[in-house]
Each structure stands twice: as structure tokens, then as C-alpha cells.
Amino acid sequence: MLHTINGVLVQLKAAPLAHLHALFEIEEAALLTLPELDHYEHRGAARYWGVLARRGGRVPAPQTWPAGDGPRIFAYIRQARPVATAIIAAIHAAGCRGIVYDPGWTAGMEAPPAITIVTTPVDIGQMVEDADIGIMHGTSTAGAFLMGGKPVLSVASHLEQYLFGVRIAQLGAGLVVRADGAPAAIGDALRELLTNGAFAHEARAFAARYAAFGHDAVIDTLCRRARQLAE
């Protein structure tokens, strides 16, 4: 790990670290999250800078949603095929229309009706605006949906993802299931999100509460603070 870090520092023309613990010998820590989403809810006094969840900038071409009247679900999948299959099946079984980003999808694999599979990155800003619910496992895309006032179903593959999903569930703006759990749990959670309007209400309340903490505002604040520390 130290070798990898020092390789990056060389490219940045910065001094290498003598020991790994030197990485934490800093002037100030910046928590790039918000209190409700902090993995460690009992952290105590801390400054939260906001979530880095970009929704703008250079983006791919817009996606066209499948025809129909069903709820629109966006899924960001980078998981093993059985998990990905369970997510796609849950969207179909719930009678929803879906856009699913799955880079592991290959030619010859057939998608269910009303579900579009894409293998290249999509415009997350469009997905946040258009979709009713987001299904994902990571923190950045989930953060973008929550900042956009949309509920999230977190399908967690490891502990860090699961802890984040638990915080979303505690917030009341979504649910979390384990990727190694029963496939039916994904469908059950999706149906609960679709039928219980409290999740969307809490997601909108969260977005309104932190409307001033958008991606660009977080970057601007971090840069200004870095310049202050450097002076």
C-alpha cells in the first residue's frame, strides 16, 4: 500500500511517505458526507462538508425510457451475475420500467420487457430527475439520488456499502439488503419502496435540508479551505 501511495505522490511531484501512518499526520480532516449518512453515527463533534455526488458536467447522450406507465427505476449494477439478475428480475416483477447500467451485460443476453440495459455510463443527472427510485450499491450514485430527493434501494456487497445502506434506512429515505441474501429480498424491498410514500417524503426532506450542499459547492468550499491552510 505504501509503495502504491508513494508511486502516486511521485507523479504529483510530492514528497513520499516514510511510513503509512504519516498519511494521517494532517492539518485537518474533511468528512465528505452529511450527519445522517455518516457510516459512524456516534462520531461526536465533527464538521461535515457535504456529499460529492456530481450530477452535471460532461455527460453521455440522454437515455429514452421504455414505453409504458409503470414507475421508472434506475439501477447501477457492478455486481456478480446472480445479484444483477435478481435486481433486473425484481424491476420486471414489480411492473416497472427500468434503465439498468450493467457493464457486464453481453451480447445474446435477453432483457425482460420494459427494461433497457446499457453497458456504457449514463447521465446520472437525467436518471435522478427521471427515475422514481434508484437501485445501487455504491455511495456516490446513492448520494446523488438522495441529494435529488429520490429514495434508494442499496444492495450491499461488502461492509462499507452495508453500513452506508443502514444509514439510508435509518434516515427513512430507502432500504438496504445484502447482496448475498435471498434474491427475493430485493423484490420485497423494491415493492415496499414503491407502495410506501414515506420513503420519497423523507428523501425530499433530506434534499431540501441540504440544498446548499451540492457537488460544486462542496468542491468550492474544500478548495477555499485548502488555500487557507496553505497560507
Give the model confidence (pLDDT) of 160-175 as tens digits.
Answer: 999 999 999 999 999 9
Q: Mean pLDDT, the chain, as a whole number?
A: 92
108 located within any domain: yes
9 located within any domain: no
118 located within any domain: yes
Give the model's confidence band at 230: pLDDT under 50 very low, under 70 low, under 90 confident, else very high.
Answer: confident
Q: Is the pLDDT of residue 59 over 80?
A: no
| Complete DSSP assignment for 86-132 | HHHHHHHHTT-EEEEE-TT--TTPPPPTTEEEESS---HHHHHHH-S
| Average pLDDT of the segment spanning 188-211 | 97
Percentage above 90 pLDDT, the chain: 75
CATH code of residue 120: 3.40.50.2000
1 located within any domain: no
Q: Is the pLDDT of residue 54 over 70?
A: no
pTM score = 0.88
Q: Using CA atoms, how far apart are residues 113 and 100, in angstroms rounded to an integer?
A: 12
Q: Is the pLDDT of residue 57 over 70?
A: no
Instruction: Say how many domains are in the chain.
Output: 1
Asked if 175 and 144 count as a contact pair (C-beta separation under 8 A), the reply is no
14 located within any domain: no
Burial of 105 (0-12, 13-18, 19+ CB in 10 A): middle
User: Which residues, including other chains, have CB under 8 Å from residue 24's CB and lie 6 or more apart?
Assistant: none
141 located within any domain: yes
18 located within any domain: no
Q: Is the pLDDT of residue 104 over 80?
A: yes
In terms of residue numbers, what domain contains 129? 72-209
| Average pLDDT of the segment spanning 118-137 | 94
Work out whether the CA dihedral 114, 119, 122, 128 comes out positive or negative: positive
Q: Which of 15-29, 62-76, 84-98 has the lowest mean pLDDT?
A: 15-29
Q: Is the pLDDT of residue 148 over 90?
A: yes
Q: Is the pLDDT of residue 46 over 90?
A: no
26 located within any domain: no
